[in-house]
Chains A and B, each alone.
Chain A
Amino acid sequence: MLLELKNVTVPTFDREHIIVEDISFGVKEGSIHAIIGPNGSGKSSLAYAIMGLHTYQLSQGKIFFEGKNITELGVTERAQLGITLAWQEPARIDGLSVLKYLSLGMKDKANIKEQAIDALKTVNLDPEKYINRYIDESLSGGERKRIELAATIAMRPKLIILDEPDSGLDMIVIEDFLNIFNKIRKLKMTILLITHREDIGMVADYGTLLWQGKALITDEFAEVMLRFCAKAGLKEFCKRTLFQNEKTCFGEDYIDKIFEEERNS
């Protein structure tokens, strides 16, 4: 496993409440692993805890990266080991150019411009149009998200955590993002994808379902999605989406069985 969480509990900053509790799962190297769950289930908090943000410290459990215990490491150290995070709503910073921003995490400081151009192309942005702009309010939400993604790709990390890359984007853009994920996969980077959308999640190989702060299942993504639908009582939606998807081959009987199990539980 590239990343492994063992019995991870993340409390609120004041430690009065638990956000996610006793989470254990692993992320295989080279895979796309989605964490799905409804709003408020703790997906983003878990992502921040994996990244090591100061305000999301574990109250119990351990996190391993390439077999090394990184639980006590800060954000910088984790990033230097090869973990990074593309933020759901990345900040806009006056005076910081796209080129400079993309260069921040580059390991190879030679040919910075060429690397930045490559990263912009990977996220389907025209380098000529963007490289000298600033990451300020002149960028739309979608443009800023792509530049964030480009900055993480330019780092050549081993693991990219994508926190709700689909939020606030329209359908046409989402189609484009799915295409970008496949490009990242070809660069041999592992993706931990935080999402609550099944169409985005369908690019994933594996998944973990978070429900009210607990990890209910970790399995192949379609199986996880089926459990999600059963938990949420979305049978028609489930049949529509999972039947239509070529990655899944659930029979109607199997879907009925899972929903029945969920009802009984």
Chain B
Amino acid sequence: MSKEQYPDEILQSLEDYNIDIKDFLPGHGKGAKLLLDFNKISGVEEMKGVVLKGREIENGIVADVIIKEGAVIEEPVHLCFGVKKQSGIQQIFPRIIAEDNSEVTVRAHCSFPNADGLVHKMFGHFYIGNNCKFTYSETHYHGEKSGALVAPVSYMYIGENSIYENNFNLTQGTPGRVKIMLDIYAMKNSVIRSNIKAFGKGKGDSIRIRDSVFLEGENARSVIKMKAAAKDGGEVLMYGITEGNAKYCNGHVECQEIVLGKGSTCRARPFIRAIDSTSTVSHEASLGRFPQKWLDELQAKGLSEEEATDILVEAMLKEE
């Protein structure tokens, strides 16, 4: 596979968002990759310990990403779901499997630079085995037009003693309408960190994210951090859900949403549950503006309140 086989427009859109793509280009970098041009698989590069298989279906693809048992993959595995068209339907059905004792970072870029009525759906299954370290980072770019309708649903099983980090970023460009649902099931001694960041910038932007962690195994631990801003009529709704369903489990949900400009709405609905006296589940949420003390601290450096808010928004939404 060569660079020429992948649309320049999509690669350019990643560069436009200050993403260093040189290692992700076809034929470059050591990492494994699966590249999609709308509903066509335009490139697959496997490597030792990483199996990537894809099959085209009507309006989308089915893909398997398998990290073999014991494999420690140093270079990130790159999944690029690019669409250069303005509209259409792209449906992705990935199965992502990390076999026992494996370590990997998977980076997915969903780049739709010209999106204007585009529909992107995903129905993903993640199976992370025992004693794994798995990081999944998904970053979306929906261009500067009306954005896209994006509706991913993922179910994630995290095995015993595994560490799973989930990062979702939708902070640049125009999001459009986004509905995301993640269900993470955490087994014994597993650790879950889930970081969600989103920025709705205008009237047409509606972002609804449900991030759920079910602590099913003894001593499972989780932290969900949801950070969002809504500007000039944008709307953000975050559901942060954690259930402590086993002994000695410990979960926390943190939600911070900032309202900017007129007509914007931020909502948070944390839902937490514990069914055992040895478990702890907590939540904290703050909506509206940044804590006054933070603003005071920056204003005492000579910044106006608006400048201080901009700096804090930029910091809050900085990609993990």
Known contacts A55-B292, A76-B304, A91-B291; is-contact A104 B318 (Cβ 8 Å): no
Residues of chain B lying within 8 A (CB to CB) of residue A80: 302
Separation of A103 and B315 alpha carbons in the complex (Å): 14
Separation of A105 and B303 alpha carbons in the complex (Å): 7
Residues of chain A lying within 8 A (CB to CB) of residue B8: none
The 8 Å CB contact of B302, one of A54, A76, A93, is A76
Separation of A93 and B293 alpha carbons in the complex (Å): 11
Most central of B299, B303, B316 by chain A CB within 10 Å: B299
A79-97: which residues lie under 8 A (CB-CB) from chain B?
79-80, 84-85, 87, 90-91, 93-96
Q: Does B48 contact A (CB under 8 A)?
A: no
Closest to A105 in B: B301
CB pair A75 B300 closer than 8 Å: yes
Known contacts A55-B292, A93-B312; is-contact A79 B317 (Cβ 8 Å): no
Q: Does B311 contact A (CB under 8 A)?
A: yes
CB pair B302 A155 closer than 8 Å: yes
CB pair B315 A96 closer than 8 Å: yes
Q: Does A49 contact B (CB under 8 A)?
A: no
CB pair A155 B315 closer than 8 Å: no
Residues of chain A lying within 8 A (CB to CB) of residue B293: 87, 91
Separation of A100 and B298 alpha carbons in the complex (Å): 11
Most central of B293, B297, B314 by chain A CB within 10 Å: B297
Known contacts A79-B301, A95-B315; is-contact A54 B292 (Cβ 8 Å): yes
Q: Does B276 contact A (CB under 8 A)?
A: no
CB B249 to nearest CB in A, in angstroms, measures: 22
Residues of chain B lying within 8 A (CB to CB) of residue A91: 291, 293-294, 297
CB A131 to nearest CB in B, in angstroms, measures: 16
Residues of chain A lying within 8 A (CB to CB) of residue B316: 94-95
The 8 Å CB contact of A104, one of B296, B303, B317, is B303
CB pair A93 B294 closer than 8 Å: yes
CB A63 to nearest CB in B, in angstroms, measures: 15
Closest to B301 in A: A105
Residues of chain B lying within 8 A (CB to CB) of residue A105: 301-303
Residues of chain B lying within 8 A (CB to CB) of residue A51: 296, 300
Closest to A81 in B: B302
Q: Does B305 contact A (CB under 8 A)?
A: yes
Count, chain A residues at interface, CB 8 A: 24
In this complex, the interface size class of chain B, counting residues with CB under 8 Å from chain A, is 20 to 34
Residues of chain A lying within 8 A (CB to CB) of residue B294: 91, 93
Residues of chain A lying within 8 A (CB to CB) of residue B305: 76
Q: Is the interface of B mostly helix, strand, loop or mixed?
A: helix
B220-253: which residues lie under 8 A (CB-CB) from chain A?
none
CB pair A155 B317 closer than 8 Å: no
CB A95 to nearest CB in B, in angstroms, measures: 4
CB B137 to nearest CB in A, in angstroms, measures: 15
CB pair B297 A84 closer than 8 Å: no
Closest to A78 in B: B300
Residues of chain B lying within 8 A (CB to CB) of residue A104: 298, 301-303, 311
Q: Does A1 contact B (CB under 8 A)?
A: no
Q: Does A226 contact B (CB under 8 A)?
A: no
CB pair B311 A90 closer than 8 Å: no
CB pair A95 B314 closer than 8 Å: yes
The 8 Å CB contact of A95, one of B298, B301, B318, is B318
Q: Does A210 contact B (CB under 8 A)?
A: no
Chain A 105-121 per-residue mask, 1 if CB under 8 angstroms from chain B, else 0: 10000000000000000
Chain B 162-192 per-residue mask, 1 if CB under 8 angstroms from chain A, else 0: 0000000000000000000000000000000
Residues of chain B lying within 8 A (CB to CB) of residue A215: none
Chain B 279-313 per-residue mask, 1 if CB under 8 angstroms from chain A, else 0: 00000000000011110111111111100000110
Separation of A75 and B299 alpha carbons in the complex (Å): 6
CB pair B301 A94 closer than 8 Å: no
Separation of A100 and B163 alpha carbons in the complex (Å): 31
Separation of A30 and B302 alpha carbons in the complex (Å): 21
CB B140 to nearest CB in A, in angstroms, measures: 18
Separation of A51 and B299 alpha carbons in the complex (Å): 10
Separation of A74 and B296 alpha carbons in the complex (Å): 10
CB pair A76 B315 closer than 8 Å: no
Query: Could you list 30 A-B pairs, sorted by A, with CB under 8 Å?
Result: A51-B300, A53-B296, A54-B292, A54-B296, A55-B292, A75-B296, A75-B300, A76-B303, A76-B304, A76-B305, A79-B300, A79-B301, A79-B303, A84-B301, A85-B300, A87-B297, A90-B297, A91-B294, A91-B297, A93-B294, A93-B312, A94-B316, A95-B318, A96-B311, A96-B312, A100-B311, A104-B298, A104-B311, A105-B303, A152-B301
Interface residues, chain A, with chain B CB atoms under 8 Å away: 51, 53-55, 74-76, 79-80, 84-85, 87, 90-91, 93-96, 100, 104-105, 151-152, 155
Q: Which 7 A-B residue pairings sit nearest by Cβ, starting from the closest?
A: A105-B301, A95-B318, A95-B315, A96-B315, A79-B302, A75-B299, A104-B301
